[in-house]
A = this chain, B = another copy of it.
Amino acid sequence: MQMLSTLDPDFEARFARIVADRRESTDDVAASVASILSAVKSRGDEALIEYTARFDHYDIATDSDWTIAPEACEAAYKALDAELREALDLAAARIRAYHAAQLPEDRDYTDDAGVRLGAIWRAVDAAGLYVPGGRAAYPSSLLMNAIPAKVAGVERLAICTPTPRGKTNDLVLAAAHVAGVDEIWRVGGAQAVGAFAYGTDRIGAVDVITGPGNAYVAEAKRQLYGVVGIDMVAGPSEILVIADKDNDPDWIAADLLSQAEHDPTSQSILITDDAGFAALVDDCVTVQTSQLSTEAVARESWETNGVIIVVEDLAREAPPLADRLAAEHVELAIAEPESMLREIRHAGSVFLGRMTPEAIGDYVGGPNHVLPTGRRARFSSGLSVLDFMKRTSFLEVNEAAFARIGPAAATLAHAEGLPAHARSVELRRK
């Protein structure tokens, strides 16, 4: 953990290094991924069978080996203990409600010139959701990706997920049932992304691919950007907690650790205005870390990437520092968070007040937990129904309106050296 004070003479240099450090994988998997994608494009299902045997040690021999049946998902859901089933239902209901309120409105109006203008939003026909196997197979992530797609109105929502040695994750299956997923394919890695983008005999092509994955999955999405729509490139997760000394240091330590326990590359940053409080929080982090089943990961993350910044004046100094970090998650554990919410321009999601730890937002808050990382909140947003929709604009001109605006179009077309454009207008003026 690095401890900084804005009074340190080298503060700016150290803070700038923290801002610049993206903690992102530089593994060059581009060539391997390109070769996998090309094999899937040309040989389809045959390539999927080969890669699945090689990477996941799972043999696809019969029709039923390809998929996980909806009945299995329903059974997994019913087999959950009641508390967990109700928690999953509550999360799904709250995510659904938040995203339903997000649905954009169509526009259709006639302006002063008599021109009718508008835009119609529609869902894409099909979406593909990648669900990682192993450690990172979070049912909450499945809900956060699948529910916005369904709320947007996507008719066909397919999942690809690796099932190493045939192993499935019951909680993920239960979440797929709750979210109303239509298909689950037992295919993972770059080959799954390729199947989604190009389509195979078995797996129909989709229009948008979302969901987390390893370096191969991320690179495959990057290479197929433009062939299909994809969600934002995701990097290591991060939290910025802005907390005054009136907080319980144990609560703040737990919040920092809730990010640190995800991955050694995760980053937890505390900005506070009290050096004593900062030291207390660090002590609490140490004590709590040793009690976690995720101890090793959390410790490595905090030791390598953890930061505490002590400032003199939170209200004045925290917002500009927060904007430079443009963090995925920002907690405002202060008495009056409202004005700071308005002042911070760049953040994926903001958690207001002492009773809103980020973990609430990870599960049951309602807003999406798929958020821009690595300073991308400067220009991108969390996942939403808009990622599964597209807008068609439209225009209707009658003769009177045409007389008003047509001549200017012809003038500009001539000036741009496009005579057929001009002619298509001028012929109609006669």
A47 within 8 A of B: no
Cross-chain contact B396 with A288 (CB below 8 angstroms) = no
A277: interface (CB < 8 Å):
no
Please report the C-alpha to C-alpha distance between residue A384 and residue B380 in the assembled complex, in whole angstroms.
Answer: 14
> What residues on B are CB-neighbors of A341 within 8 Å?
120, 394
Q: What mask results when residues 258 to 297 of chain A are scored 1 for a CB within 8 Å of chain B, else 0?
A: 1011100000000000000000000000001000111000
Cα A232 to Cα B88 in complex, Å, equals: 36
On chain B, the residues within 8 Å of A393 by CB distance are: 348-350, 367-368, 371, 382
Contact check: which of B138, B257, B360 meets A395 at CB < 8 Å? Answer: B360
Nearest CB of B to A239, in Å: 10
Q: What's the nearest-Cβ distance from chain B to residue A399, in Å? A: 6
Query: What B residues does A124 contact at CB under 8 A?
Result: 378-379
Min CB–CB distance A155 → chain B (angstroms): 11
Residue of B whose beta carbon sits closest to that of A138: B416
Nearest CB on B from A295, distance (A):
9
Q: Which of the segments A6-14, A52-60, A67-75, A404-412 contacts the partner chain?
A: A404-412
A165 at the interface (CB under 8 A from B): no
Task: Kindly provide the distance from the CB of A406 to the nearest chain B CB, expressed in whole angstroms.
Answer: 7
Q: For the complex, what is the distance from the CA of A98 to the CA of B124, rounded to whole Å?
A: 24
| Contact status of A409 and B363, CB under 8 A, knowing A233-B226, A347-B392, A357-B428 | yes
- Hey, which chain B residues are within 8 Å of A411, CB to CB? 83-84, 87
B402 touches A364 (CB 8 A): no
- Whether a CB of chain B sits under 8 angstroms from the CB of A5 is no
Tell me the minimal C-beta distance from A426 to chain B in angstroms: 8
A-B contacts besides A261-B419, A355-B401, A381-B392, 18 pairs, CB < 8 Å:
A84-B411, A87-B407, A90-B408, A208-B379, A226-B233, A254-B427, A261-B418, A293-B417, A341-B394, A347-B392, A348-B392, A349-B393, A351-B394, A352-B395, A352-B396, A362-B409, A363-B408, A380-B390
Where the two chains meet, the residues of A that have a C-beta atom closer than 8 Å to any C-beta of B are: 83-84, 86-88, 90-91, 94, 97-98, 101-102, 104, 107, 109, 111, 113, 115-117, 119-120, 122, 124-125, 135, 138-140, 171, 207-208, 222, 225-226, 228-229, 232-233, 248, 250-251, 254-255, 257-258, 260-262, 288, 292-294, 298, 337, 341, 344-368, 371-372, 376-382, 384, 386, 390-399, 401-402, 405-413, 415-425, 427-428
Subset of 25 A-B contacts with CB under 8 Å: A84-B411, A140-B416, A222-B226, A225-B233, A226-B232, A229-B380, A257-B423, A258-B420, A260-B420, A262-B418, A288-B423, A294-B418, A298-B420, A348-B393, A355-B402, A360-B402, A360-B409, A362-B421, A363-B412, A363-B421, A364-B412, A365-B395, A365-B397, A371-B393, A384-B391
